């Protein structure tokens, strides 16, 4: 048998072994970028002297929202507040698991008013268990739920004491991970959750100890290259089947396809000027 046949056979066998990828319907909270702009700099992506195109930012954001709706997800919108240009990054607004809302307390003065604004939305929308936290945490930017575990980032924004606070509040194991690269200042810029037990991440964004923790928890994780990480490819949202991620992250898209996921490229270049993309714009409402 020629060598090529062997390769074809083994490839198709491997594909047949892929778990069936099943999308589950999610409820998402998003914030229209009506007041979006880059007027200050709190991460290395933000350069206030470069201009932003407000109309384009809005169109790109609407495309992401429409994609979620087309995929069958529910999208709630919180009213944007004037003077809070980063409020579009809804992921930072809270962490919601089992219908319980762990509020966000921001590191930088420019964003502190977002914490109470998001918390109010939850109170007005019938959430009963809502905690205004003691320590700094930037919501799902740094607290990512994988099945019944929470991965928690620290190093730039979220205070590691918030990890213990979240564990106590949710009653779920919280695993601390330390970030080292300022371009990956939030956990959701260096790691994405793909399913209840799978993630993809960029090892170089973490300390050696945190890398070892990730290797032991997720030995078969998708590993991102520097190129894919640099275009924010890990700032992705997965519904268990479809993985929405920046169009430019071609390597990750190929890896995801090989594992049976359906990657969907999204163009959010205007929001990348503030250091955000798909996941940053998306807060998952994990109701009970
Ligand atoms: N300009 C915002 C900041 O630096 C971007 C936040 C991005 N959000 C995220 N979930 N990573 O705070």
274 CB within 6 A, ligand 1: yes
Ligand 1 closest atom vs CA 141: 10
CA distance 266 to 270: 12
| 8-29 residue pLDDT tens | 334 444 555 677 899 999 999 9
280 CB within 6 A, ligand 1: yes
Ligand 1 closest atom vs CA 139: 10
Residue 239: pLDDT band with limits 50, 70, 90: very high
Read off the pLDDT of each residue in 233-262 and give the average, rounded to a whole number. Answer: 98
CA distance 267 to 245: 8
| 211-222 residue pLDDT tens | 999 999 999 999
| 41-84 residue pLDDT tens | 999 999 999 999 999 999 999 999 999 999 999 999 999 999 99
pTM over 0.95, yes/no: no
**Counting Cβ atoms within 10 Å, is residue 13 exposed (0-12), middle (13-18) or buried (19+)?**
exposed
Instruction: Count the Cβ atoms, other than its own, within 10 Å of residue 127.
Output: 17
**Cα of 222 from ligand 1 centre, angstroms:** 23
Residue from 37, 43, 140 whose mutation best tests the ligand 1 pocket (most atoms within 8 A of CB): 43
Q: Where are the domains of the chain?
A: 27-284
pLDDT score, position 17: 64
284 CB within 6 A, ligand 1: no
Has residue 3 got a pLDDT over 90?
A: no
| 74-90 residue pLDDT tens | 999 999 999 999 999 99
Mean pLDDT of the residues in the chain: 94
114 CB within 6 A, ligand 1: no
**Which residue CA neighbors atom 8 of ligand 1 most closely?**
280
Q: What is the CATH number of domain 27-284?
A: 3.75.10.10
CA distance 93 to 105: 9
Give me the active site residues, please: 186, 280
CA distance 202 to 188: 11
Residue 288: pLDDT band with limits 50, 70, 90: confident
| 173-202 residue pLDDT tens | 999 999 999 999 999 999 999 999 999 999
Read off the pLDDT of each residue in 131-155 and give the average, rounded to a whole number. Answer: 98
Has residue 7 got a pLDDT over 60?
A: no
């Amino acid at each position: 048998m020629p060598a090529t046949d062997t390769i074809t056979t083994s490839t198709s066998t491997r594909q047949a072994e892929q778990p069936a990828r099943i999308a589950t319907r999610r409820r998402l909270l998003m914030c229209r970028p009506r007041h979006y702009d880059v007027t200050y700099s709190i991460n290395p992506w933000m350069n206030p002297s470069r201009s932003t195109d407000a109309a384009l930012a809005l169109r790109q954001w609407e495309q992401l929202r429409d994609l979620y709706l087309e995929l069958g997800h529910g999208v709630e919108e919180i009213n944007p507040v004037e003077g809070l240009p980063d409020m579009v990054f809804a992921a930072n607004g809270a962490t919601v698991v089992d219908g319980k809302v762990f509020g966000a307390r921001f590191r930088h003065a420019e964003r502190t008013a977002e914490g109470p604004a998001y918390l109010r939305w939850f109170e007005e929308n019938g959430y009963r268990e809502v905690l205004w936290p003691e320590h700094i945490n930037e919501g799902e930017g740094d607290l990512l739920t994988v099945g019944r575990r929470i991965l928690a980032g620290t190093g730039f924004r979220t205070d590691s004491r918030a990890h213990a606070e979240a564990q106590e509040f949710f009653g779920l194991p919280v695993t601390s991970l330390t970030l080292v690269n300022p371009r990956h200042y939030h956990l959701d810029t260096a790691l994405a959750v793909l399913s209840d037990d799978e993630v993809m991440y960029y090892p170089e964004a973490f300390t050696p100890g945190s890398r070892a923790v990730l290797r032991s928890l997720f030995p078969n994780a998708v590993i991102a290259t520097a190129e894919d990480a640099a275009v924010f490819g890990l700032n992705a949202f997965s519904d268990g089947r479809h993985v929405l991620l920046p169009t430019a992250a071609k390597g990750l898209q190929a890896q995801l396809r090989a594992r049976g996921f359906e990657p969907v490229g999204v163009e959010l270049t205007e929001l990348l000027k503030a250091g955000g993309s798909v996941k940053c714009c998306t807060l998952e409402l994990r109701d009970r």
